[in-house]
Amino acid sequence: MRFLILAFLSLFALASFSQDLIILRNGEQIDCKITRVDSAIIHYDFVKGERKLSSYVAKNDVRSYKINPAVDVPEDLIEVLRVSDNAVIIDTTEYVKETGKWINLLTYSRKFGLNADGWSLQYYGYNLKNTSKWIIPVYYGIQGFSIHTDYFSQFNYQSAIMNYYLIGVSPFYKLRDTFFLKIGGNLIFGGEKLTNLYGAKSSNTFFGFSPSQGIYFIPKSKVGIIVGLSVSEKLLSSKVYKNDIGISLEAGIKF
């Protein structure tokens, strides 16, 4: 007899807390008793084994929910029941599960400017997500350049040795599956050792800014060849290299 009473009570508890339904955007269904709905959260009770538990779910993760009017309903949910079939549709957009994979790019660039030419070797590493068009990679690189003789001669120095560092961001924006827009901006700081026409030596610290914009082809395959074309500018406080604008041709491998 005791067993029958316990079984009856368990069935009664299950019936009491499983009359409402929440459907998540990923298709999962939650049988429960909805206790409160606010602007961002749906609160509900449910039964697990012989225990009554309470939980909640964000509306951003919910496709729809339905409240059964056959039982007592909290006062703050009465307005909800006035909709057709007691079902509230929150989101009808297609559910896309977020996935990500780490991408490595190793590239070499040739740079051609109005006042200097150069080269660079760089590494990009980033997490490619299927739900975002923006990519902010980890970037490391080295570069070298030589100033054009006709430009350098106007500053009355016979030689210059320049070393500098760049710090900034170079995000990619996904235009299509394989084409990306790269928009970069770097702060420049460094030093230069100068020798004037009379042989006197001096040192100078300089700062600057270098924005860049480009179009890149990056294949969808796990391994492949990438190419890019970009335009970059430089503004510096250097005494022998004050500004420049040019193009960069970049090629490398994705792995």
pLDDT of residue 99 exceeding 90, the answer is no
CA distance 31 to 20: 6
* Residue 5 predicted with pLDDT over 50: no
Q: pLDDT tens digits for 192-221? A: 999 999 999 999 999 999 999 999 999 999
3-state secondary structure of 73: coil
If you average pLDDT over every residue of the chain, what do you get? 86
Q: What is the pTM of this model?
A: 0.64
pLDDT of residue 153 exceeding 60, the answer is yes
Using DSSP's 3-state secondary structure scheme, residue 44 falls into strand
Do residues 48 and 36 lie in contact, with contact meaning Cβ atoms separated by under 8 Å? Answer: no
The CB density around residue 39, as the number of other CB atoms within 10 Å, is 5
Structure tokens at 49: 């084994």
Q: How many Å apart are CA 106 and CA 181, to the nearest integer?
A: 17
Q: What pLDDT score does 39 carry? A: 87
**Mean pLDDT (whole number) for 36-50:** 90
Give the tokens for residue 7: 């079984």
The Cα 141–Cα 253 span in angstroms is 15
Q: How far apart are the first and last CA of the chain?
A: 69
Name the phi and psi angles at 220, rounded to 5. Answer: -80, -20
Tell me how far CA of residue 137 lies from CA of 134, 143, 184, 186, 240, in angstroms.
10, 18, 11, 14, 32
How large is the average pLDDT for residues 148-177? 93
Which residue matches tokens 């040795």? Answer: 161
